[in-house]
Amino acid sequence: MNGSVFTRFGGYSSVFGSGYTTSIDVYLDVAWAIGTGFDFSSAINNQLGVHRRDFIWHVGVTAAGLLVNGSNNTDFAFNDFKLTNPNGGDFATILTSGWYTLQNVFRDEGGALAVDYNLLDSSGSLVNTFTRSDPTDLTSTVVGGNRYGWFTYSNVDNLAVDNTRVVGAKRVSDTGSTGALLGLALLGFLTAKRRLKR
């Protein structure tokens, strides 16, 4: 699988509303070889329903271990610089194999979009968090709602994923104040494995 798997999170949106959250569960293995990894994007539209910006999770193994970081760009290939350097190098190191949630919180901060990258472990505890923002992404006039979730590349054999979801997404037809909880199975050739319940 190489850039072949994506979801529309139940449908694209041009409405930001009060913000929304996307997430996907992925099994991360500290035994992966150096150079193994993937990028996953959760993108946002503008208010015309056109792509505005990507928010990319970078996950991969370097000589320093299994690292997780985030930025706004992908190389569609493994890049250890992206794992350690963007925005001050506030990356996380994964020490234990298991299920982790890659959660993006799209929210308003002083009139502009701020996106929190929350890395959660299988118990829902926060492992690491960092925020990416651009002052031109105005929530009142520029940014809209969710676009895709997309593995822009992966060289992990049989990468296991589960629980792809969006919470709080607004559609133009929504009339209520409560956001919908929408889930969509990923499309493509990825092998999705159900999480074992304890």
Spell out the domain ranges in the chain.
Answer: 5-183
pLDDT, tens digit, 9 for 90 and up, residues 31-86 = 999 999 999 999 999 999 999 999 999 999 999 999 999 999 988 888 888 888 75
State which CATH number among 2.70.98, 2.60.120, 3.40.1350, 2.60.40 fits the domain covering 5-183: 2.60.120
**Residue written as tokens 């997404």?**
169
CA dihedral (7, 153, 156, 70) positive or negative: negative
Q: In Å, how far are 19, 123, 141, 167 from 56, measured between CA atoms?
A: 18, 23, 23, 19
pTM: 0.84
d(CA 89, CA 82): 9
